[in-house]
């Protein structure tokens, strides 16, 4: 690899930032600024000031991937390519386009610096293939996306690279493409090397192109994409265009898909919501994907919206772009017009204004993990069960709650998925489902539907180990399995899944978990069950006018069957010991 001169911070028109850097006050830049040791070392070695604006959300860098290495020269090369471009308007017109320290530290260096050997390519390739940047308006999104697009077409060493800029309509696509075209036309270093047309930029030596696309048909035409830039993801009403672009890069050895967006209002189920939650899960550690990297800048919901400290936190370019005066003016408008407040919070503070808060925080859940559970140590203990049969082609979950003398519980889950549905679940969980299977958190049954014979056998084996009192299940999901289990001697309890039946046990689950976090003694010891950690992150809760709650599968991010089973089991545990006779002897199954 050829070493290029590192752009001088003195030449950066933004380096004269009048703000007093908070970095000098930070005791641990790796912890407090969320920098990896490798990126921190790069910044120090190259004389780039440490940023003072860590993102609210940052996914792990792929530093633990087998064979991973951080290549300083790769980052140098990208920065040199940016430096070859020049600002085309405003007070910096004609000056080199040097990325700000925060853009280097959190976007460029992690994305382009991490590499590993690839036998097929016979060389080192980038590890990160999907970059997600979520930042409020006026923080230089178009500048950095334009620089990346031109680098990927003109300097990445890829012959015939196809770079696309994607938006939801032709005019918006041209709007995204226009800064790229202008930079290509005005950069002295690209003179004679590129041809810029109304809807295409061509790098002559490599025959690489940059074009705008606004439809699936556009994206599919000759699709062999090396890089894509998706602008303002939240305005995409369907996932079709984004998914078509991402599936059109299979023949490239180190493709890169870039999403640079502002926040949406919090509407569930959209392509923005799916991508954003994926990044949140990666950052929380509930799933792993070394090929995806993302950063999100946003204020906290409880931050005073018009405070300078809040605007600094959400806007990494504060004081430069956007200017302090601009944000102050926008804040004043929002303060004087309550109807404008939500727009200000979303566009300038990065807040998803209508998003429902997580019912159980992951920190609370993890604080109750306790020591790993050895089931043999639980032999003979009283147990209450909750069964969620769901669909025969989907997850089935069983929860056992075993009361302790301190009013807490030890909790076990059994979860089954049809073998034919495992691949889809594995895809949705970024490969974690196969890990869960190997660790015993998840089990499979043959075919494309859950074979309840496996569930029945497992429950009978558990009944030989525990003193099972009763098992609650959704009364609308009664099946032959529940009849068979009753014949086996289980007391099966039909439980309604509405607010009246679900609210008290769900609230008790939350109370115990929060008590465990506060006291340091796990009150629902789950042993760090990975599937339940994922489902806790997915959990959505519906609330009625009286403040009653229940699990809400319709609006959950993904599966929450384990939580439904948990709440069912808690209902029985709260009811206490039930008579141990067949539920059919008198009045049939007990109904709640």
Strand, coil or helix: 278: helix
Largest CA distance in the chain: 91
Q: Calculate mean pLDDT across residues 105-133.
A: 96
Given a contact cutoff of 8 angstroms between Cβ atoms, the answer to whether 213 and 219 are in contact is yes
Strand, coil or helix: 104: helix
pLDDT class of 429 with cuts at 50, 70, 90: confident
Given a contact cutoff of 8 angstroms between Cβ atoms, the answer to whether 395 and 481 are in contact is no
- Angle of helix 480-487 versus helix 452-465 axis, rounded to 10: 30
What is the model's pLDDT at position 553?
87
Region at 160 (left for phi over 0; alpha for psi -120 to 50; beta for the rest) = left
Burial class (CB in 10 A: 0-12, 13-18, 19+), 337: exposed
pLDDT class of 112 with cuts at 50, 70, 90: very high
- Angle of helix 72-83 versus helix 37-45 axis, rounded to 10: 50
- The pLDDT > 70 percentage for the chain reads 90
What is the model's pLDDT at position 215?
80
Report the Cα–Cα distance between both ends of the chain, in Å, rounded.
70
Which residue blocks in 351-474 are alpha helix, DSSP H?
A: 362-367, 419-428, 432-439, 452-465
- Residue 385 reports pLDDT greater than 50: yes
- Residue 23 reports pLDDT greater than 50: no
Given a contact cutoff of 8 angstroms between Cβ atoms, the answer to whether 426 and 434 are in contact is yes
Given a contact cutoff of 8 angstroms between Cβ atoms, the answer to whether 418 and 447 are in contact is yes
CA 109, distance to chain mean position in Å, is 20
- Residue 6 reports pLDDT greater than 70: no
pLDDT class of 290 with cuts at 50, 70, 90: very high
Q: Count CB neighbours of 547 within 10 A.
A: 9
Closest CA to 110 of 131, 124, 79: 131
Range with the poorest average pLDDT among 375-389, 508-522, 571-585: 571-585
Q: Calculate mean pLDDT across residues 427-431.
A: 85
Convert the pLDDT of each residue in 466-483 to its tens digit. Answer: 999 999 998 777 688 999
155's CB contacts (< 8 A; 6+ apart) are: 77, 78, 81
Phi, psi of 409 (to 5 degrees): -135, 150
What is the model's pLDDT at position 86?
85
pLDDT class of 249 with cuts at 50, 70, 90: confident
Range with the poorest average pLDDT among 47-56, 229-238, 254-263: 229-238
Q: Bridge-partner residues for 591, per DSSP?
A: 494
What is the model's pLDDT at position 411?
97
CA 113, distance to chain mean position in Å, is 22
What is the model's pLDDT at position 10?
34
CA 507, distance to chain mean position in Å, is 26
Q: Calculate mean pLDDT across residues 217-236.
A: 82
Given a contact cutoff of 8 angstroms between Cβ atoms, the answer to whether 524 and 516 are in contact is yes
Phi, psi of 457 (to 5 degrees): -65, -45
- Residue 282 reports pLDDT greater than 80: yes
Convert the pLDDT of each residue in 323-368 to its tens digit. Answer: 999 999 999 999 998 778 999 999 999 999 877 678 999 999 999 9
Across all residues in the chain, what is the average pLDDT? Answer: 88
Which CATH number describes the domain made up of 362-591? 3.30.420.240
Q: Tell me, what DSSP letter sits at residue 113?
A: H
What is the model's pLDDT at position 337?
86
117-122 CB contacts, 8 Å cutoff, 24+ apart: 117/67, 118/253, 118/254, 120/253, 121/253, 121/254
Closest CA to 10 of 104, 103, 98: 98
pLDDT class of 221 with cuts at 50, 70, 90: low
What is the model's pLDDT at position 2?
31
d(CA 536, CA 506): 13
- Residue 4 reports pLDDT greater than 70: no
What is the model's pLDDT at position 351?
95
71's CB contacts (< 8 A; 6+ apart) are: 1, 113, 114, 115, 124
Q: Count CB neighbours of 540 within 10 A.
A: 17
- Residue 258 reports pLDDT greater than 60: yes
Domain 9-297 has CATH 3.40.50.880: no
What is the model's pLDDT at position 454?
94
What is the model's pLDDT at position 25?
53
All CATH 3.40.50.300 domain ranges of the chain, comma separated, are 9-297
d(CA 108, CA 144): 9
- Residue 577 reports pLDDT greater than 70: no
d(CA 168, CA 245): 13
- The pLDDT > 90 percentage for the chain reads 68
Convert the pLDDT of each residue in 33-63 to its tens digit. Answer: 999 999 999 999 999 999 999 999 999 999 9
What is the model's pLDDT at position 549?
93
What is the model's pLDDT at position 578?
41
Which residue blocks in 429-557 are alpha helix, DSSP H?
A: 432-439, 452-465, 480-487, 499-519, 530-538
Q: In what order do the strands lie in the sheet with 114-118?
A: 69-70, 114-118, 123-126
Closest CA to 260 of 119, 112, 68, 106: 106
d(CA 432, CA 156): 32
d(CA 518, CA 512): 10
Convert the pLDDT of each residue in 147-201 to its tens digit. Answer: 999 999 999 999 999 999 998 887 787 778 888 998 998 888 899 999 999 889 9
- Residue 519 reports pLDDT greater than 90: yes
What is the model's pLDDT at position 21?
45
Range with the poorest average pLDDT among 101-115, 212-226, 515-529: 212-226
474's CB contacts (< 8 A; 6+ apart) are: 388, 389, 494, 495, 496, 497, 564, 568
DSSP 555-572: TSSS--HHHHHHHHHHHH
Closest CA to 58 of 133, 113, 108: 133
All CATH 3.30.420.240 domain ranges of the chain, comma separated, are 362-591
């Amino acid at each position: 690899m050829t070493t290029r001169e590192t752009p001088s911070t003195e030449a950066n028109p933004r380096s004269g930032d009048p703000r007093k850097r908070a970095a000098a006050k930070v005791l641990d830049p790796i912890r407090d600024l969320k920098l990896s040791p490798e990126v921190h070392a790069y910044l120090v070695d190259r004389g780039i000031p440490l940023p003072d604006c860590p993102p609210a959300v940052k996914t792990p860098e792929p530093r633990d991937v087998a064979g991973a290495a951080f290549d300083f020269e790769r980052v140098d090369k990208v920065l040199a390519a940016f430096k070859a471009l020049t600002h085309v308007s405003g007070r910096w017109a004609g000056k080199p386009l040097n990325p700000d320290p925060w853009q280097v530290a959190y976007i460029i260096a992690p994305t382009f610096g991490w590499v590993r050997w690839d036998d097929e390519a016979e060389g080192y390739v980038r590890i990160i293939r999907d970059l997600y940047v979520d930042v409020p308006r006026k923080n230089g999104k178009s500048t950095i996306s334009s620089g990346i697009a031109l680098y990927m077409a003109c300097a990445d060493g890829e012959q015939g690279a196809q770079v696309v800029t994607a938006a939801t309509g032709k005019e918006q696509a041209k709007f995204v493409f226009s800064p790229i075209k202008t930079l290509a036309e005005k950069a002295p270093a690209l003179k004679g090397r590129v041809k810029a047309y109304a809807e295409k930029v061509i790098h002559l030596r490599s025959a690489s192109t940059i074009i705008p696309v606004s439809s699936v048909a556009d994206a599919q035409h000759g699709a062999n994409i090396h890089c894509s830039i998706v602008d303002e993801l939240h305005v995409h009403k369907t996932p079709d265009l984004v998914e078509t672009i991402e599936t059109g890069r299979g023949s490239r050895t180190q493709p890169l898909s870039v999403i640079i967006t502002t926040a949406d209002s919090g509407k569930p189920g959209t392509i923005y919501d799916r991508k954003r939650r994926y990044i949140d899960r990666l950052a929380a550690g509930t799933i792993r994907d070394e090929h995806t990297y993302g950063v999100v800048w946003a204020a906290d919901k409880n931050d005073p919206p018009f405070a300078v400290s809040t605007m600094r936190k959400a806007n990494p370019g504060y004081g430069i772009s956007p200017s302090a005066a601009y944000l102050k003016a926008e804040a004043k408008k929002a303060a004087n017009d309550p109807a404008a407040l939500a727009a200000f919070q979303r566009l300038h503070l990065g807040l998803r204004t209508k998003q429902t808060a997580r019912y159980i925080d992951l920190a609370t859940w993890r604080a109750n993990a306790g020591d790993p559970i050895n089931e043999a140590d639980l032999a003979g203990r009283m147990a209450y069960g909750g069964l969620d049969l769901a669909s025969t082609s989907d997850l089935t979950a069983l929860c056992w709650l075993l009361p302790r003398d301190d009013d807490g519980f030890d909790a076990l889950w059994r979860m089954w998925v049809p073998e034919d549905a495992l691949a889809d679940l594995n895809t949705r969980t970024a490969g974690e489902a196969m890990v869960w299977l190997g660790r015993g958190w998840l089990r499979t049954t043959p075919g494309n539907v859950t074979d309840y014979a496996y569930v029945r056998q497992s429950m009978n084996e558990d009944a030989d180990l525990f003193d099972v009192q009763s098992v609650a299940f959704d009364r609308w999901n009664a099946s032959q399995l529940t009849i068979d289990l009753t014949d086996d001697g289980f007391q099966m309890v039909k439980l309604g899944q509405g607010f009246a039946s679900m609210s008290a046990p769900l609230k008790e689950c939350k109370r115990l978990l929060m008590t465990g976090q506060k006291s340091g003694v796990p009150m629902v010891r789950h042993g760090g069950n990975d599937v339940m950690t994922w489902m806790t992150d997915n959990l959505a809760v519906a609330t009625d006018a009286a403040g009653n709650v229940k699990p809400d599968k319709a609006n959950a991010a993904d599966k929450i069957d384990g939580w439904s089973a948990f709440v069912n089991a808690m209902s029985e545990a709260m009811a206490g010991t039930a008579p141990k006779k067949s539920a059919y002897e008198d009045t049939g199954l007990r109904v709640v």
